[in-house]
Amino acid sequence: MGLTLAEKIIKNHLVEGEMVTGREIGIAIDQTLTQDATGTMAYLEFEAMGIPRVKTERSVAYIDHNTLQTGFENADDHRYIQTVAKKYGIWYSRPGNGICHQVHLERFGIPGKTLLGSDSHTPTGGGIGMLAIGSGGLDVAVAMGGGAYYIEMPQIINIELTGKLPPWVSAMDIILEILRRLTVKGGVGKIVEYSGPALADLSIPERATITNMGAELGATTSIFPSDEVTREFLKAQGRESDWYPLSADPDAVYAEKLTIDLSGLRPLAACPHSPDNVHPVSELAHIQVDQVCIGSCTNSSLADMLKVAAILKGKTIHPHVSLAISPGSKQVLTMMTEMGALADLIAAGARILECTCGPCIGMGFSPPSKGVSLRTFNRNFEGRSGTADAQVYLVSSETAAVSALQGYISDPTAFGRAPEVKMPASYHIDDSMVLEPVPPEKAEEVQVVRGPNIKPLPLAEPLPNQLEAPVLLKVGDNITTDHIMPAGAKILPYRSNIPRLAEFCFAQVDSGFSQRALEAGKGFIIGGVNYGQGSSREHAALVPLYLNIKGVIAVSFARIHRANLINAGILPLTFSNPEDYHKIQLGDQLELKNLLQDLDKGEEFLLVNKTKGISLTLKGRFSPRQREILKTGGLLNYTKAKAN
């Protein structure tokens, strides 16, 4: 029986377990990436492990998220990351060099390699045939130390792309169509593998848009074959020697198969407040637009910028629209400058932002009250833009640019001839903004500089056998990590200061939660379906840990967040019968009587709701390794205990 593309890479990197769907496997990690909003924590964790140097082939620390620097906090974190990187063997991509996923694709990604990143959009690397996975910072720290990365062997599903994209329809519309069909839970426990005749016409930036936003499906990762298109891209990046051909065997077996005829696609938009709330742009044409943002790790390539510039050239954006453009990298910005596109954008009225995440994570450029914001980004969760009542729509660069001119959400197919942009045969290559670490023998000389905002890590305690605690919060379905631990310009400066960050935990959902939890001293959270979807931020587990949360009981969990809870020593359990969700209320006193025995015995846990006088069965499918992690009090304690 033949192998799928993902199975081939997993097989080559398998260090533990069997490639049987649902079983835990350990894979060796070749490359890691961090960004600054998760990086400080990841490097503090790496330092705590006491390993003198990273053991990966390449680890890169990017500064791209927290760049507003409205106080000393972000700048201190950057300096900490710069010094820690220099000392421990990590390449440091300076602020200004670009968004981690864009730069990694351009300069470091290699087909067939594994990449683990402390950012949920790490699967962007799947665009060039890497097995690129997002995780919490602690998993990245362990991988930097040479440890394997553990996941449940995903199902591999195939999406075959046929036909040809019509004019004005783009890769963003392909992934929006997939989100429309599969929803934000459709990819959970799965790897999405792309194939089909249409791939010959899909450039690497287009493929990367699709793999990037595969994160919104909840997928473990998404991957394209490494073919001639990949070779051309790497050649244009001066890295043809990194190319390696990779594809699935012709007789590979997939768990599911879906075919999408690109010829039938139309411009689409994800409407507020979920990336899977997808509708044709033509049906939204009456909606007036207040702001348009073009960029983010989803659509900030040179091709995007050139297309937008061609659409705006010689025109001025609509009087009631504010347009922000954040190019994905220094390479993109340099080339759009050299090619004249930047001047066209400025002339049309665009506000040029840094090559960073910017508005995507609420780092500035928040919309006005009740404002409609059209963004080429990947997430439109409520409040994420920094404006609680903003209405955010996710669209392609083409739809965004045309709408910026019209002042209304506009279907670009009604806008005349689509722009044709020709990509250069070679990109502008200048890696001078990526700093090399010192050789191991010089590491002693490097002083790691810590600012006053960097506070110690919270550490979990081993699980007790009897756990009695009240329900401190009950939430509904599809709770995102942006609900649990909001981002944005006001809160992000405290990513390395858990006690301060804790004040904002669940702030939009229940402003009293944080104080209540601190006072209670221990407690449970009750969640619905897909609890913890969205980002990889381990702060959404570390802060609840600091706030004494011992367990989260939900109908189901998103993959990365569940792993982060276990890593933090917090018990994630699900209801055996989803209807039991209704049998627990805020304030109920819950008891897990034989926790350790239940944990060792199997998958069932007995929960007594003392307030209601009823018993329920809960489920927790844990691998032997995860049981040990929970018993030892989190992955950091477990890793240290193992090393000793």
Task: Give me the residues that bind ligand SF4 (CB under 6 A), please.
Answer: 65, 99, 119, 121, 296-297, 357, 360-361, 377-378
Interaction partner, residue 38 (ligand SF4, ligand MIC, none; CB < 5-8 Å by kind): ligand MIC
Among ligand SF4, ligand MIC, none, what does residue 537 contact (CB within 5–8 Å per kind)? Answer: ligand MIC
Q: Using the minimum distance from each CB to ligand SF4, give the nearer residue, 94 or 612.
A: 94
Helix (H) / strand (E) element for 309: namely helix 302-312
Please give the helix or strand (H or E) that residue 192 lies within, else none.
Answer: strand 190-195
Q: In terms of CB distance, is 377 or 494 closer to ligand SF4?
A: 377
Q: Are 216 and 102 in contact (CB under 8 A)?
A: no
In angstroms, give the least distance from the CB of 65 to ligand SF4: 6
Minimum Å gap between C-beta 329 and ligand SF4 is: 12
- Of 82 and 299, nearer to ligand SF4 (C-beta) is 299
Taking the complex as a whole, the smallest distance from the CB of residue 105 to ligand SF4 amounts, in Å, to 12
Residue (103 or 360) nearer to ligand SF4, CB: 360
Residue 62 contacts residue 329 (beta carbons within 8 Å): no
Question: Nearest to residue 345, comparing CAs of 383, 384, 379, 305?
Answer: 305
Shortest distance (Å) from residue 120 CB to ligand SF4: 7
- Binding test (CB under 6 A) with ligand MIC, winner from 6, 27, 33, 37: 37
Question: Which of ligand MIC, ligand SF4, none sits in contact with 82, Cβ below 5 to 8 A by type?
Answer: none
Binding to ligand MIC by CB under 6 A, coded x per residue (else -) over 131-170, reads: ---x------------------------------------
**169 or 360, CB closer to ligand MIC?**
360
* Residue at token pair 């001293």: 521
Dihedral-angle region of residue 218 (phi above 0 means left; psi in -120 to 50 means alpha; beta otherwise) = left
Give the one residue of 9, 342, 361, 607 binding ligand MIC; rule: CB under 6 A: 361
Q: What residues from 581 to 600 belong to the interface with ligand MIC (CB under 6 A)?
A: none
Give whichever of 36 and 193 is closer to ligand SF4, judged by the CB atom: 36
Contacted entry of ligand SF4, ligand MIC, none for residue 211, CB cut-off 5 to 8 Å set by kind:
none
- Selection from ligand SF4, ligand MIC, none that 99 binds (CB < 5 to 8 A by kind) is ligand SF4
Give min distance, CB of 124 to ligand SF4, in A: 8
Q: Which does 76 bind (CB under 5 to 8 A by kind): ligand MIC, ligand SF4, none?
A: none
Question: Which one-letter amino acid corresponds to residue 260?
Answer: I
Report in angstroms how near the CB of residue 215 gets to ligand MIC at its nearest.
Answer: 7
Binding residues among 500-559 for ligand MIC as defined by CB under 6 A: 535-537
Q: Rule CB under 6 A: which of 101-130 touch ligand MIC?
A: 119-121
Q: Which partner in ligand MIC, ligand SF4, none is near 296 (CB below 5 to 8 A by kind)?
A: ligand SF4
Question: Are 98 and 332 within 8 A, CB to CB?
Answer: yes
Q: Please work out the total of residues on this chain that contact ligand MIC, with binding judged by CB under 6 A.
A: 12
| Closest to 465 measured CA to CA, from 606, 344, 368, 576 | 606
Burial 334-346 (b: 16+ CB within 10 A, else e): bbbeebebbebbe
Q: How many Cβ atoms are within 10 Å of 424's Cβ, its own excluded?
A: 12
The nearer residue to ligand MIC, 86 or 121, going by C-beta atoms, is 121
Binding of ligand MIC at residue 480 (CB under 6 A)?
no
Buried b / exposed e over 473-505, threshold 16 CB at 10 Å, is bbbeebbbbbbbbbbbbebbbbbbbbeebbebb
Say how many CA atoms lie within 13 Å of 249 toward its Cβ: 11
Closest CB to ligand SF4 among 363 and 498? 363
Short-list 174, 152, 173, CA closest to 161: 174
Q: How far is the CB of 419 from ligand SF4 (least distance, A)?
A: 24
First to last CA, the chain: 42
356 or 514, CB closer to ligand MIC?
A: 356
Query: What single DSSP character describes residue 282?
Result: G
What is the nearest approach in angstroms of ligand MIC to the Cβ of residue 75?
17
Q: How far is the CB of 292 from ligand MIC (least distance, A)?
A: 19
Indicate which of ligand SF4, ligand MIC, none lies near residue 536 (CB less than 5 to 8 Å, by partner kind).
Answer: ligand MIC
Q: What are phi and psi of 62, to 5 degrees?
A: -105, 145
504, two tokens: 């904002």
Q: Give the orientation angle of helix 228-236 with respect to helix 204-213, to 10 degrees.
A: 110
User: Could you tell me whether strands 467-474 and 14-16 are parallel, antiparallel, or unpaired per DSSP bridges?
Assistant: unpaired
| 322/481 with CB nearer ligand SF4 | 481
- DSSP string covering 564-599: HHHHTTPEEEEESSGGGGGG--TT-EEEESSHHHHH
When the beta carbons of 35 and 334 are compared against ligand MIC, the nearer one is: 35
Contact letters for ligand MIC, residues 41-70 (x by CB under 6 A): ------------------------x-----
What is the Cα Rg of the chain in Å? Answer: 24
Q: What is the DSSP string of 320-369?
A: T-EEEE--SBHHHHHHHHHTTHHHHHHHHTPEE--SS-GGGGTSS-PPPT
483 touches which of ligand SF4, ligand MIC, none (CB within 5 to 8 A by kind)? Answer: none
Residues near ligand MIC, by CB under 6 A: 37-38, 65, 119-121, 134, 361, 487, 535-537
